[in-house]
Structure formats: C-alpha cells, structure tokens
C-alpha cells in the first residue's frame, strides 16, 4: 500500500552524521587510477549513497515532532532538514566579523561555526529528489525540487563563497585525472 514502505523496512539506517559526511568525502576514495574501468562501480556508489540519504531522510521524518509524513512534506520541511544537518557539518564558514572572512586557508583557528558544505547539500538534494520520484512520489509534488530549496541552496553557495573565499563558478564535475597524466604525444620529437 504505502509507496514509501522502503523507509520503514530497510534496517541499515546508520547515524545521520556519518551518512551525510560520506557524501563529501566519498569522492576522494575514487582516486586517480579509476578512470574508464570504474564505470560500473560509479553508478552503484551513487545508488548506495542515494539509498543512505533516503533512509536518513526517512529517519528524520520518523523522529520529527510533530509527526511528519512524506506526502505532507514541503519545501519548508526540506529546508528544516538541511539546517538540522548543519550541526554535523565540517566546513568552517566564517562570519563577516571574523578576521579570516574570505580566506580560503586561514592560518589559525577561529570560533566560527561548522556547516555542511554547499557542494554536499547540493549533491544531497539532487539524490533525494531522484529518490523521491523513484519511490513513487509525483514530480510535481517533489519537495526537493521546490523553489524555496533552490533559493536556499543558492543563498548558501553565495554565503559560503564569500565567507571562505572560494569560487564555486563552473565547478568541474569529478573529472578523472587521466588527462593530466598523459603528455602530448608530439612533445618528444618536435621539442
């Protein structure tokens, strides 16, 4: 009956923080060696992550007070979820009064709060949006695609790029490093 029964029946829900934090760190494990041969494992890693995220969100709904079901979930609830995740974040976001505001690599510690990095949230929302529809949700009702969520993510991106001095423009997607290791073939003879 319940199209979202997956949430309840899946026993592998871990603790929320580790689930989310793997989102940002998992890319480092892919390494430079796995380029073309790894094509098969890449989608499944994404699928696994998506499933974990979906379980995490289901867990969040379950623990929500007042109780909240997926069908009543709105963009506002998604924002609430994202803000809740910030407590598990590991990305230092400087406040405007911090001397390191705008420094990508501050030379000393400061008391500014840790947050979820914008890139992690952005990727997370993408996975949850897909998972929602794969689990029977209607696209037009998808809370992860809500305008408020898009606006929030844009806001977070702007804020973090200013606070951390990091430009997120035209960020390259996980490009395999194959191109950097192969020198131009003509260089040996014609130099």
**Interface positions with Zn ion (CB under 5 A):** 94, 98, 100, 110, 112
CB of 124 to Zn ion, least distance (A): 24
CB of 103 to Zn ion, least distance (A): 8
CB of 158 to Zn ion, least distance (A): 17
Query: Taking Cα atoms as reference points, which of 80, 14, 34, 19 lies closest to residue 178?
Result: 34
Closer by beta carbon to Zn ion, 115 or else 129: 115
DSSP 149-170: HHHHHHHHHHHHHHHHT---TT
Closer by beta carbon to Zn ion, 110 or else 178: 110
Distance CA 114, CA 185 (A): 46
For 115, the enclosing helix (H) or strand (E) is strand 114-115
Closer by beta carbon to Zn ion, 100 or else 144: 100
What are the φ/ψ torsions at residue 150 (nearest 5 degrees)? Answer: -60, -45
């Amino acid at each position: 009956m319940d199209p979202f029964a997956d949430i309840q029946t899946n026993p592998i829900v871990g603790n929320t923080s580790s689930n989310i934090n793997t989102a940002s760190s998992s890319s480092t494990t892919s390494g430079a060696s796995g380029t073309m041969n790894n094509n098969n494992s890449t989608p499944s890693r994404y699928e696994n992550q998506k499933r974990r995220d979906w379980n995490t969100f289901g867990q969040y709904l379950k623990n929500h007070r007042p109780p909240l079901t997926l069908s009543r979930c709105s963009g506002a609830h998604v924002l609430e979820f994202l803000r809740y995740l910030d407590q598990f974040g590991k990305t230092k976001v400087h406040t405007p009064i911090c001397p390191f505001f705008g420094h990508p690599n501050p030379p000393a510690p400061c008391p500014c709060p840790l947050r979820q990095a914008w890139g992690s949230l952005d990727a997370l929302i993408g996975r949850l949006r897909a998972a929602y529809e794969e689990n029977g949700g209607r696209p037009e009702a998808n809370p992860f695609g809500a305008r408020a969520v898009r606006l929030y993510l844009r806001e977070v991106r702007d804020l973090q790029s200013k606070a951390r001095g990091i430009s997120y423009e035209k960020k390259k997607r996980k490009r395999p490093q194959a191109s950097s290791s192969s020198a131009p073939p003509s260089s040996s003879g014609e130099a």
